[in-house]
Structure 1
Amino acid sequence: MRPHRLRRLVPLSAATALLLSGCADEAKKETPDQGTSSVKPSETHKEQKTSPPDSGRPWEPDDAMQRAERALDAHDDDGSDPQRAESGSANIASGVNKTFQAPGKRWYRLDITCDARGVEELTLTLTRGDAEQAYGIGCGDREADQFNIPPGAPFTARVDTVRSGTGLVLWRLNTIAPDDVDGCDDDIDGCGG
């Protein structure tokens, strides 16, 4: 049995504020020439409760954050002993463009997921030096996507923006022992052939 590790959660209030600001911007765009004073918080909240086609569930920031956290936690019992290096979240309208340092001897594993209204997939591009690989990240999946990166030079993770979208991206960068790397050992250089 693996030892229990402390979990560090993304502050829900900060993520919710970020999501609501994106939703308010979207609501302003949809309201012709009424200015910002006419967009009431209750209208913005009501607008968020609309469902994507065929989803069967309303989209709300708090629920989306909880679903994304569960997707990231789905790999907790995979037998590895991940050590949290960094974590974060972003609104899909802003995207992600983050450079990570990758020192040491342990491999890095980027766990990333998205939850959005009306968006099924986002594009993640991993870059290190001249090497670059693009991947699709499924939004609303029960398990986060995982990408292995060997230690070494800094690398960049970029998630393309969806300017008209409402949703979030949640990610965690963990370190894992080289023996715990599952699948491709370098998802930036690529293992397909």
Structure 2
Amino acid sequence: MRIRHTLPLSAAVLAVLMSGCADEQGGSGPKESAAASTQPSKPSASSGGTRRPWEPDDALRRAEQALKSAADDGTEAELVDSGTAYLGSGLKKSFRASGDTPYRLEITCDTDGAEELTLTLSRGADEQAYGVGCGDREADHFNLPAGKPFTAHVEAEQNGTGLIAWRLTTIAPGDVDGCDDDVDGCED
């Protein structure tokens, strides 16, 4: 009986998974069951300046917690869509934003090394770029009016390791906090 060494194979499979396997819309990504790592963890920067081990399953849990923290602001939100994408694939997702209730996009990232990614929200020729903090305890959120389709885009980081998690919800018009259309932007 021959003993096979599976650690190199497991490491290769993990490398392929983390390099990016998103669908053509950029909406699928790491799944908790596929995120287990057999490699030793590497340190990663967090927003607090401390170092913590970066592992895919832990990163997904942290990202989900950041999304949950953003949703715990007292608003009555209804989930429309959500997903994850690998940093190596980036994110390019279009939303119809139909109906008459405002939308809120919550987005976060958890990466090995990058402290911030650039999210570009666009609608037709209009676009706005925003920095999204990676490893933050609360996801960033952006308001978008109903009836106006928009696209969320984060460039792929070919040499990056990490994930992007997002959630789109509808909220009551009275729960819109700050700018009511983050694609057009608002003057302070």
For Structure 1 versus Structure 2, the TM-score category normalised by the shorter chain is 0.7 to 0.9
**Contact residue 19 and residue 167 of structure 1 kept, 8 A:** no
Q: Does 1:85 align with 2:119?
A: no
Shift of 1:45: 3.2
Gap runs ≥5 in structure 1: 1-17, 26-43
Kindly provide the amino acid, as one letter, of the partner of residue 147 in structure 1. F
Distance 2:14 2:157 in 1: 13
Unaligned runs of 5+ in 2: 1-12, 21-36
Which of these residues, 97, 100, 110, is aligned with residue 95 of structure 2?
Answer: 100
Give percent identity, aligned residues only: 55
Deviations 1:17-36 (A, max 9, x none): x97534478xxxxxxxxxxx
1:45 paired with 2:52, answer no
In the other structure, the counterpart of 1:8 is: none
Greater helix proportion: 1
TM-score by length of 1: 0.76
Which position in structure 2 is the counterpart of 1:70? 65
- The one of 160, 164, 167 aligned to 1:165: 160
SS at match of 2:79: strand
Which of 142, 147, 157 is the equivalent residue of 1:152?
147
Q: Which residue of 1 aligns with 2:125?
A: 130
Report the Cα distance in structure 2 between the residues aligned to 1:46 and 1:103, rounded to whole angstroms: 44
Q: Sort the Cα spacing of 1:96 and 1:19 in 2 relative to 1 into closer, same or farther, 3 A.
A: farther
Residue type matched to 1:130 in 2? A
Aligned length: 157
> Which stretches of structure 1, 4 residues or more, deviate above 3 A after TM superposition?
22-25
TM-score, structure 2 as length reference: 0.78
- Name the CA distance, whole Å, in 1 between partners of 2:163 and 2:156: 11
Superposition map of 1:8-23 within 5 A: 21-23=16-18
Work out whether residues 70 and 106 of structure 2, in 8 Å CA contact, stay in contact via their aligned partners in 1: no
The match for 2:178 is 183
Stretch deviating more after TM superposition (142-151 or 52-61): 52-61
Q: SS at 2:166's partner residue?
A: strand
Q: What letter matches 1:177 in structure 2?
A: A
Question: Does the 8 Å contact 1:19/1:168 carry over to 2?
Answer: no
Aligned pair in 2 of structure 1 residues 166, 142: CA closer, same or farther (>3 Å)?
A: same
Contact 2:119 2:152 in 1 (8 A): yes
Deviation (angstroms), 1:130:
1.8
The 3-state SS of whatever aligns with 1:113 is strand
Q: SS of the residue aligned with 1:51?
A: strand
